[in-house]
Structure 1
Amino acid sequence: MKKQLLTLALLYTLPLCAQQADYPVRAVDFTAVKLTDSFWLPRIRTNHTVTIPASFARCESTGRVKNFEMAAAKQGKFCTTFPFDDTDIYKTIEGASYSMAVTPDKKMDAYVDSLIAVVAKAQEPDGYLYTARTIDPAHPHAWSGPERWVREHELSHELYNSGHMFEAASAHYLATGKRNFLDIALKNADLLVLTFGPGKLGVAPGHEIVEMGLVRLYRITGKKDYLQLARFFIDERGKRQYNQKSKNKWENGQYWQDQAPVVQQSEAVGHAVRAMYLYAGMADVAALEGDTAYLHAIDRIWDNMVTKKMYVQGGIGAIPDGERFGENYELPNATAYNETCAAIGNAYWNIRMFQLHGDGKYIDLLEKVLYNGLISGVGLDGKSFFYTNAMQIRKGVHHHSQEPARSGWFECSCCPTNMARFLPSLPGYIYAQKAGDVYVNLFISSTTNIQVEKKKVKITQSNNYPWEGDLRFNIEPATATAFTLKLRVPGWARQEAIPGGLYQFRDKDTHKVVIKVNGQPVDFQLEQGYAVIKRKWGKKDVVEMQLPMNTHEVVADNQIKEDIGKVAIQRGPLIYCAEWKDNDGRTSNLIIPGHFQPEVRKDLLNGVVVLTGEGKRINVDAQQQEVSTAAGRITLIPYYAWANRGEGEMNVWFPEKVVDVDLLAK
């Protein structure tokens, strides 16, 4: 596999054509990071050996590949459900490309090339590529509209398909050096440039991502038209006429983030995945063009999301109707939606916000999402998934948003394929640089070789995170080199449950974070969430950081009505939950203990630390109509690992005490 001296995951380091402006902080390319981690490396390997092959197989078996074959033949009938089903192939190719960049795989490489050949034949001569219309232009998909683009502002997803194709083609080119997919994407992008823009067709894309994809192509080609078109699509928002006073999400424009020009927006609204892709695209354009109006807008929206619209495990998009953000503090547990794609989009947005500002709070949020509401979306087997990530499951109560069992595929299967493309790029989130500053963002055992002020430096990170808080960093410059090491001191280690204070630790832990250099404790300055260590580094220097791994009770802001009088449990970056399997078949009847003991269970859920303690269970004798409590051992598992052992109850929030009992008639 040919390796490129380019960033593959985030494309923020060395584009083929240098830009005058860009993100102030640059990610260290994930191909320059070798994982040795016992938590993430097995997941990334499973993604390569199980998730990606299973995703390709399901694209075949469900007719997604057949749609392209019929489009090439110009005959047949679109045989899947949604016009955006094309993107499941694109996203899986993207994931395979990232994965092959680190783990060469001739069989996978050949299969991807065969799929690209199928995609190429489906492309129309002018570059248009959209099987839902091309198969039978006289009878297109019901969402597509009678002609190209006429329903793009709402349901056609023509530009959404293009955006995912651009992302995938960029990844494939940079991973393999082959142009077969890139040329398809560029032909389509050139059609968009001819079609849309000032004096041409104007539209606010109904499902954003084409903006991010166009920036990717701009970074590869240096063709300014692509960057300008990305900006054009963003600036088209707020131009359509909606009933601004309507509470109907379809009538007021909020579902599409189209209710006002983006620079006037201050609140996270509408479909959560679309919102994340829009805000990430705005961050890209803000970085490349130095646009402070965009920057101020996404700063305001980020503040609104984290302080008023986020679940304790990092989930966003509370409302099932429209997969969308609710009102401020509208965070119901029983019907929580929390789409996996929204968690992935949140990760994309937060890494960009960090690279704009260099502030550790964005990585704090990224970490909360990664270790909780993102990886909960894929089962430990690598081939079963959640579309939504529930906050509670009750015995005998089934809401349409709840999925107590995982699924191998969905009719709308955006989440499994999004997971396939996200996981291989994770090593690109660990380290970053800005001139003579080296950031360590995530605590994942790994080795990276970077250049600091044109001098080679090797950093080796070793730990047993997230289970233990003892972290070690070997700093090995080729020659003695002065630079600033910035180690993120997680918010949770500084008594901050989540940036912004929507959730807080009840206890006031007095344990301090300890940092040692070559065995000697050092005083350090804390700047934007980072311990700043400036020195001339030698070949055998060792930095150690000790994080207090206490178990915390988390309480919510009182404006979140459903969580009043309840607590959640966090240890390190992990939110914990109670699952039926460990608690006599029920979790909705638990009163948790005031103290938990961590216990290593290598035999459970691929190896976890569980929390155990003596609590109480509320028991109902239906025959005698009596309610009683009984002492019993309570066991909590990491939230990400629930629903890997069958169906049953699950709880994240627990009542502190019994204040009432609901009486239900049969």
Structure 2
Amino acid sequence: MKRLLPSLALLGLCSLPGTAQSIKKSDYPIQAVSFTKVKLADNFWLPRLKTNTEVTIPASFQRCEATNRVKNFEMAAAKSGKFATIFPFDDTDIYKTIEGASYSLKLYPDEKLDEYMDALIKKVAAAQEPDGYLYTARTIDPAHPHEWAGPERWVKERELSHELYNSGHLYEAAVAHYEATGKKTLLSIALKNADLVCSVFGPGKRGVAPGHEIVEMGLVKLYRVTGKPEYLSSAKFFLEERGKYQGYDPKSPDAWKNGSYWQDHKPVVDQKEAVGHAVRAEYLYSAMADVAALTGDQRILAAVDSIWLNMVSKKLYVTGGTGAVPGGERFGGNYELPNTTAYNETCAAVANVYWNQRMFQLHGDSKYVDVLEKVLYNGLISGVGLDGKSFFYSNAMQIKNSTSFPQTEPQRAGWFDCSCCPTNMARLMPSLPGYVYAQKGQDVYANLFISGTTDLKVGTKAVRITQQHNYPWQGDLKFTISPAATTDFNLLVRLPGWAQGEAVPSDLYRFATPSTEKISITVNGKPVPYTTRQGYAVLPRQWRRGDVVEVKLPLEVRQVVANPKVQDNLGRVALQRGPVVYCAEWRDNNGKTSNLIVPAATRFTTSYQPQVLNGIMQLQATVPAVQVDAANHSISTTRQTLTAIPYYAWANRGKGEMVVWFPQQLTDVDLISRQPKEVTVGK
């Protein structure tokens, strides 16, 4: 469940021990512009960030209180009581919410929230044992710890205990809190714990492949803040411990249960495919990118490059979702992308954002941002309701009221016994401004098209860039460049793959028909020639105050076709406009969607509906709809209006059918009528 924002500003860095002198020069070639330097004014994203601040984060803290997650810390401090929640990783819901609240504080100062966090952090501090150990599931009653924890510290870390997973989320929260507030209260707790971890694990000491990765990413964050080399070397050590487990039998039909589920089936440098529990995997791959960037390890870099190619070529849903199989919340085999049983955990979408941001920073290729954008506008925000307090743990691709197949969640819930996804959303959303821009020397990358203003420096010269547009509903982009003085630099504007005829940066999906529309770019109203580099339009210029760059992206409704090896989507199409993938929902389509057919020649009209689902661009077309007359044992088709809404907005108006992939012609009719089974969600 999370990553480092590699770009965040290091506030007060010099006041910490072991900083500047011990930080190595090796790092990501491209650095993101800090979220603290990007102020949003966006019609699409700003309301979501406000909802996260005003609803999601308070609801998350309230639910942590109501479900006794906070009480666990109080009992740990008192060394008395009985662990009061279900899972030993429930501590992390508090850490993740603190992380999100910290980012939010920087964007929206709130004295009461700041005070509440101060009080909560005191409870966390009181629960920490003298040597730095922090794990309420054992500390409350060491003689009778949680059944997943084992009789002693760390003995079940690989399989069940999540001790290091808890530590990783603590580190992430601590860095976010420190960078947003300048306070070291939570950071001091994290550093004490990290020092314990480094003293216990390492060459010649205890070794383990952490069962649920994230401690590796958290240690890298602490390394960035403190410059302490032990944190980076420990992160690398945990990566290198994979593939050493003696109990793994690759020939067993259940091999994934003791090997690949944890990405522990082979050394990381030998891994080439995205396998196992999708969230754990993508945290691991994010950490591999971190360690490769900071140490220059080319074998780790080659491995993570291969894994990314496998994921984007064979294991990515059209919405950017990952993790097809409910059993084990894991990646399936190549091209195993079912619709009615699609899992697509919301936490996996969060992790996929972190991973693709890192891949971009390593390589500077827009294809990684293309995937990141696909996740952001589709499979990520589908995980939270428009009310900000209802969630999907898994994100289905089809819901049928009459089916013989089990399905993932057909409706949203306010909380889960394993509530990792709501708190992961709470922490990701306010960090969004940190994904908009990036820099490398004289190159300034405009990655995401989100209205707002950033203040950055090119060399020693201050530059302000303002974006003004109505993306993703409209494709007219406007960038106003205002340097404090005339400044030479290269503005690199991402040319989205979807605007150039590429559905994804692989052959997993393609647009059914080519487009004749092209991207156009003007500077101060005049067309300009430009070169392209790795998917970016490169605009070198001596920029002056008030220079205006306008980019026109063709926004057409496109039919998407899957690779024929994806069996579930043979003869089917999905709908996409710009970065947004669409679905049909029962509410707009006579109570049913599984009977809709979209022939190849179908043409859609678009209309903005400000009163629907907080404002959406709606698609409509007249299509055949299958009618089954059970009394007369007959099947026919009638013409009706198909109304499609953005996939992210489904399940905000009640429970009913939904479909993303539409058949192009009538091939079969589902005559089985029974209520769908619901797949239980869990970590």
Question: Closer, same or farther in 2 for the Cα pair 1:136/1:400, shift >3 Å?
Answer: farther
Residues 388-537 of structure 1 mapped to structure 2, 5 A cutoff: 388-397=394-403, 401-537=407-543
Which of structures 1 and 2 has the larger relative contact order (alpha carbons within 8 angstroms, sep 6+)?
Answer: 2
Q: Which runs of 5+ in 1 are unaligned?
A: 1-6
Matched AA of 1:233: F
Matched AA of 1:192: V
Q: Which runs of 5+ in 2 are unaligned?
A: 14-18, 675-683
Instruction: Name the stretch that deviates more: 14-23 or 553-562.
Output: 14-23
Residues 210-225 of structure 1 mapped to structure 2, 5 A cutoff: 210-225=215-230
Mapped to 2, the partners of 1:475 and 1:522 lie a distance apart of 16
Do the aligned residues in 1 keep the contact of 2:83 with 2:136 (CA within 8 Å)? yes
- Cα deviation, 1:7-62, whole Å, max 9, x if unaligned, reads 99434665833431111001000110010000000000110000000000000000
Aligned partner of 1:3 in structure 2 is: none
Question: Closer, same or farther in 2 for the Cα pair 1:347/1:398, shift >3 Å?
Answer: farther
- Cα deviation, 1:236-280, whole Å, max 9, x if unaligned, reads 001112101123144450000000100000000000000010011
- Count of residue correspondences: 660
Matched AA of 2:468: S
The answer as to 2:144 corresponding to 1:139 is yes
Matched AA of 2:615: G
Question: Which of 6, 10, 22 is the equivalent residue of 2:6?
Answer: 10
Matched AA of 1:456: A
The answer as to 2:627 corresponding to 1:619 is yes
Do the aligned residues in 2 keep the contact of 1:189 with 1:214 (CA within 8 Å)? yes
Aligned partner of 1:649 in structure 2 is: 657
Mapped to 2, the partners of 1:174 and 1:450 lie a distance apart of 18
Question: Which of 192, 195, 215 is the equivalent residue of 1:190?
Answer: 195
Question: Which of 73, 76, 81 is the equivalent residue of 1:71?
Answer: 76
Question: Which of 606, 614, 631 is the equivalent residue of 1:606?
Answer: 614
Matched residue of 1:72: which SS? helix
Do the aligned residues in 2 keep the contact of 1:28 with 1:428 (CA within 8 Å)? yes
Question: Which of 74, 80, 91 is the equivalent residue of 2:85?
Answer: 80
Aligned partner of 1:354 in structure 2 is: 360
Aligned partner of 1:180 in structure 2 is: 185
Aligned partner of 2:297 in structure 1 is: 291
Do the aligned residues in 2 keep the contact of 1:29 with 1:428 (CA within 8 Å)? yes
The answer as to 2:575 corresponding to 1:588 is no
Matched AA of 1:651: V
What's the CA shift for 1:662? 4.4
Aligned partner of 1:630 in structure 2 is: 638
Matched AA of 1:614: T
What's the CA shift for 1:176? 0.9
Residues 27-42 of structure 1 mapped to structure 2, 5 A cutoff: 27-42=32-47
The answer as to 2:647 corresponding to 1:639 is yes
Do the aligned residues in 2 keep the contact of 1:451 with 1:457 (CA within 8 Å)? yes
The answer as to 2:275 corresponding to 1:269 is yes
- Cα deviation, 1:386-410, whole Å, max 9, x if unaligned, reads 0000000001448665212110000
Aligned partner of 2:680 in structure 1 is: none
Matched residue of 1:591: which SS? coil
Question: Which of 556, 561, 572 is the equivalent residue of 2:562?
Answer: 556
What's the CA shift for 1:454? 1.2
TM-score, normalised with respect to structure 2: 0.95
Mapped to 1, the partners of 2:183 and 2:537 lie a distance apart of 42
Do the aligned residues in 1 keep the contact of 2:8 with 2:35 (CA within 8 Å)? no
Question: Closer, same or farther in 2 for the Cα pair 1:500/1:214, shift >3 Å?
Answer: same
TM-score, normalised with respect to structure 1: 0.97
The answer as to 2:201 corresponding to 1:205 is no
Matched residue of 2:481: which SS? strand
Mapped to 1, the partners of 2:538 and 2:550 lie a distance apart of 13
Matched residue of 2:160: which SS? coil
Mapped to 2, the partners of 1:366 and 1:308 lie a distance apart of 17
What's the CA shift for 1:659? 2.2
Matched residue of 1:486: which SS? strand
Aligned partner of 1:4 in structure 2 is: none
Aligned partner of 1:98 in structure 2 is: 103
Mapped to 1, the partners of 2:638 and 2:326 lie a distance apart of 36
Aligned partner of 1:368 in structure 2 is: 374
Mapped to 2, the partners of 1:187 and 1:516 lie a distance apart of 54
Matched residue of 1:631: which SS? strand
The answer as to 2:374 corresponding to 1:378 is no
Matched residue of 1:101: which SS? helix
What's the CA shift for 1:592? 2.6
What fraction of aligned residue pairs are identical, expressed as a percent? 65
Do the aligned residues in 2 keep the contact of 1:377 with 1:385 (CA within 8 Å)? yes
Question: Closer, same or farther in 2 for the Cα pair 1:23/1:398, shift >3 Å?
Answer: farther
Matched residue of 2:621: which SS? strand
Do the aligned residues in 1 keep the contact of 2:285 with 2:355 (CA within 8 Å)? yes
Do the aligned residues in 2 keep the contact of 1:238 with 1:262 (CA within 8 Å)? yes
Matched residue of 2:223: which SS? helix
Aligned partner of 2:318 in structure 1 is: 312
Do the aligned residues in 2 keep the contact of 1:11 with 1:219 (CA within 8 Å)? no
Mapped to 2, the partners of 1:74 and 1:129 lie a distance apart of 12
Mapped to 1, the partners of 2:524 and 2:87 lie a distance apart of 58
Question: Closer, same or farther in 2 for the Cα pair 1:55/1:400, shift >3 Å?
Answer: farther
What's the CA shift for 1:71? 0.9
- Cα deviation, 1:580-613, whole Å, max 9, x if unaligned, reads 0000000000013611001110010000000001
What's the CA shift for 1:501? 1.9
Matched AA of 2:415: W
What's the CA shift for 1:661? 3.0
Do the aligned residues in 2 keep the contact of 1:393 with 1:651 (CA within 8 Å)? yes
**After TM superposition, what 4+ stretches of structure 1 lie above 2 angstroms from structure 2?**
7-19, 249-252, 396-401, 659-666
Aligned partner of 1:545 in structure 2 is: 551
Matched AA of 2:6: L
Do the aligned residues in 2 keep the contact of 1:116 with 1:180 (CA within 8 Å)? yes
Aligned partner of 2:153 in structure 1 is: 148
Matched AA of 1:421: R
- Cα deviation, 1:414-447, whole Å, max 9, x if unaligned, reads 0000000000000000000000000000000010
Mapped to 1, the partners of 2:344 and 2:544 lie a distance apart of 46
Mapped to 2, the partners of 1:665 and 1:207 lie a distance apart of 40
Do the aligned residues in 2 keep the contact of 1:580 with 1:650 (CA within 8 Å)? yes
Matched residue of 2:313: which SS? helix
Question: Which of 148, 160, 169 is the equivalent residue of 2:174?
Answer: 169
Matched AA of 2:105: M
The answer as to 2:349 corresponding to 1:343 is yes
Do the aligned residues in 2 keep the contact of 1:13 with 1:26 (CA within 8 Å)? no
Do the aligned residues in 1 keep the contact of 2:605 with 2:620 (CA within 8 Å)? yes
Instruction: Name the stretch that deviates more: 587-596 or 323-332.
Output: 587-596
Aligned partner of 1:232 in structure 2 is: 237
Matched residue of 1:590: which SS? coil
Matched AA of 1:91: K
- Cα deviation, 1:277-325, whole Å, max 9, x if unaligned, reads 0011111111111111111100000000000011111100000000000
Mapped to 1, the partners of 2:405 and 2:87 lie a distance apart of 24
Mapped to 2, the partners of 1:665 and 1:228 lie a distance apart of 57
